[in-house]
Structure 1
Amino acid sequence: MKQLYIVRHGETQFNREKKVQGRGVNAPLNQTGQEQARAFFNHYKDEKFNKVYVSSLIRTYQSVESFINQGIPHERLEGLDEISWGNKEGLAFEPDIHSHYLTTLEAWQRGELDQRIDGGESPIEVMERQKLAMKYILSKPDEEKVLICMHGRAIRILVCWMLGYPLQLMESFGHSNLGLYVFNYTGGQLSMVTANDVSHLEGVELI
């Protein structure tokens, strides 16, 4: 059996200011995000992770850096990156931007999964690069327990297809900062045992 601990990165200032933060924004953790990362590490530091995987964006590395500093091997995979929000990257959620965002989400919920923000990615495109990344991760039989740090929308897409659900149901899955999903991989089958658990963050601010 292989276990996958999949966690979202900690809070950034873009999260705090409710700005669009996708693949095109390489923002570091803010102070709250650092506190969340410490709380997560303190809770799970005794888990025997064989490998840590992060996206190419610094906020994921910083969120699990304490595990890496223990000497656990790590690897960056672009396939774990957040979705690209195209020309809305870095902008505040002003009414017209928010309207375009919501319209796109509504299209995805209708099954129009080729829709995207101008210059951005569609959920199908994100899923395809995720599948390559996960195929690589699952191909390592000696890595029985791995820690994967990635992003909110990316996690929604990932959990959906890994459970065999249509992508238009992705809104069913939450993604708190440092929220944890755990999957077991047995005999070629993936099963979810934990969903967006934040109990390790008791006493730490969440938004």
Structure 2
Amino acid sequence: MAKTYLVRHGESVANTKGIYQGQTFNTPLSDMGKLQAKALAKYFGGVEIRKILASPLLRTKQTAQEVADLKNIEVIDTLDVIETNHSEWEGVNKKIIEEKWPDVYKTWMETPADAKFPKGETFLETQERIINWWEGMTKNEENTLVVTHDNIIRILVAHALGLLLNNIWKFELNPAAVTVIETNGNNQRLIALDEKKHLQNLLVDLKKHAF
């Protein structure tokens, strides 16, 4: 039996501007995001973890490194948990996207399982990538911290709960909040979703972010 701690990176500079980042618009943490990452490290001070994995983007690595420094554990770059490839949306404000690609944006917000990002991944391709990684990773049965992205965690929560992919917008995921899935062989159980007590006064307005 093992626990996987899934963490969305701290708030990034692009988050504050409502810009889609995807895989190529690689902005660092905002000042608030840096504070969130430090608070996250304190949270894990009393939590037993053996391994830290992170998406190889700056915002995730910066977040993970705060915990790694405290726990004296190396951060392992993990390409499999990188953000969805939004391609032409990357580096673009969500308001412009809604105007330029209204049909695609509407699909993404209402039926994400049908979403195909212009010249990028379909969301089903993202799901396949993540679930294939998850099924291999959880065989190790080690308590693991995975610092990744909003979309990736939503896929894994839906998978753990047996939800259809179109239900991913039904719950919040805050920057530097903690979601925990316990695995035992082929069985898995969601035991925490968007845990944010450690963030106290560090929560931000999610409506400003681009998802």
Establish whether TM, by shorter chain, passes 0.5: yes
Q: Which residue of 1 aligns with 2:92?
A: 91
Range that drifts further, 151-160 or 32-41: 151-160
* 2: CA distance, partners of 1:110 / 1:11: 24
Contact 2:182 2:188 in 1 (8 A): yes
Q: Which residue of 1 aligns with 2:135?
A: 135
* 2:73 is the counterpart of 1:75: no
- The Cα shift of 1:78 comes to 1.3
Alpha carbons of 1:37 and 1:110: their partners in 2 closer, same or farther (altered >3 Å)?
closer
2:4 match: secondary structure: strand
Contact 1:182 1:193 in 2 (8 A): yes
- Give the letter for the 2:22 counterpart: G
- The Cα shift of 1:135 comes to 2.3
Contact 1:159 1:173 in 2 (8 A): no
Q: Which residue of 2 aligns with 1:158?
A: 156
Q: Which residue of 2 aligns with 1:107?
A: 107
Alpha carbons of 1:109 and 1:38: their partners in 2 closer, same or farther (altered >3 Å)?
closer
Q: Which residue of 2 aligns with 1:148?
A: 146
Contact 2:54 2:146 in 1 (8 A): yes
* 2:201 is the counterpart of 1:203: yes
Range that drifts further, 80-89 or 97-106: 97-106
2:155 match: secondary structure: helix
Q: Which runs of 5+ in 2 are unaligned?
A: 206-211
- Give the letter for the 2:194 counterpart: N
- Give the letter for the 2:45 counterpart: K
1:139 match: secondary structure: helix
Q: Which residue of 2 aligns with 1:52?
A: 52
- The Cα shift of 1:118 comes to 0.6
- Give the letter for the 2:137 counterpart: I
- The Cα shift of 1:74 comes to 3.0
* 1: CA distance, partners of 2:135 / 2:151: 20
Aligned length: 204
Range that drifts further, 42-51 or 65-74: 65-74
Contact 2:83 2:152 in 1 (8 A): yes
Contact 1:77 1:133 in 2 (8 A): no
* 1: CA distance, partners of 2:19 / 2:172: 18
Range that drifts further, 43-52 or 104-113: 104-113
Alpha carbons of 1:59 and 1:110: their partners in 2 closer, same or farther (altered >3 Å)?
closer
Q: Which runs of 5+ in 1 are unaligned?
A: none
Contact 1:179 1:197 in 2 (8 A): yes
* 2:37 is the counterpart of 1:32: no
Contact 2:53 2:75 in 1 (8 A): yes
Runs of 4+ in 1 over 4 A off after TM superposition: 99-102, 108-112
* 1: CA distance, partners of 2:193 / 2:94: 27
Alpha carbons of 1:122 and 1:45: their partners in 2 closer, same or farther (altered >3 Å)?
same
- Give the letter for the 1:74 counterpart: V
